[in-house]
Amino acid sequence: NAGVMQNPRHLVRRRGQEARLRCSPMKGHSHVYWYRQLPEEGLKFMVYLQKENIIDESGMPKERFSAEFPKEGPSILRIQQVVRGDSAAYFCASSYTGLISPINTGELFFGEGSRLTVL
């Protein structure tokens, strides 16, 4: 009976390296959201995915960041050539329906986050 599982919980990278963050949604959930939490900026929406599709990536930086949610396996947020400004907590959330669905119950289930530190 696992909730949203994120790994790794903590990740340290040097500038220029790649970071891969994984998110396994709750069983039966096909909607995945990635958020970034910076110390002074709160939680910011990055991208919304359904299986094999990116629905909305309006919150994703244009370069170096990408996300996928394959048919099999977890959703992955990939950050290439990391910089110090990428240091943050990255949260994944899943839901059974999309938020604008008429049967939306209102609940996003969040993982415990992956904390990226770039040296």
Partner 1 sequence: SQELEQSPQSLIVQEGKNLTINCTSSKTLYGLYWYKQKYGEGLIFLMMLQKGGEEKSHEKITAKLDEKKQQSSLHITASQPSHAGIYLCGADISGSGGGADGLTFGKGTHLIIQP
d(CA 27, CA 89): 23
Nearest distance from residue 97's CB to partner 1, in Å? Answer: 11
Stretch that binds partner 1, among 18-26, 68-76, 79-87, 97-105 (CB under 8 A): 97-105
Query: Contact with partner 1 (CB under 8 A): which of 26, 54, 68, 109?
Result: 109
Residue 15 · residue 83 · CB < 8 Å:
yes
* CA distances in angstroms from 74 to 20, 35, 45, 85, 118, listed in the order given: 11, 16, 19, 25, 23
Does position 83 bind partner 1 by CB under 8 A? no
Contacting residues toward partner 1, per CB under 8 A: 4, 33, 35, 40-48, 55-56, 58-59, 91, 93, 98-100, 104-113
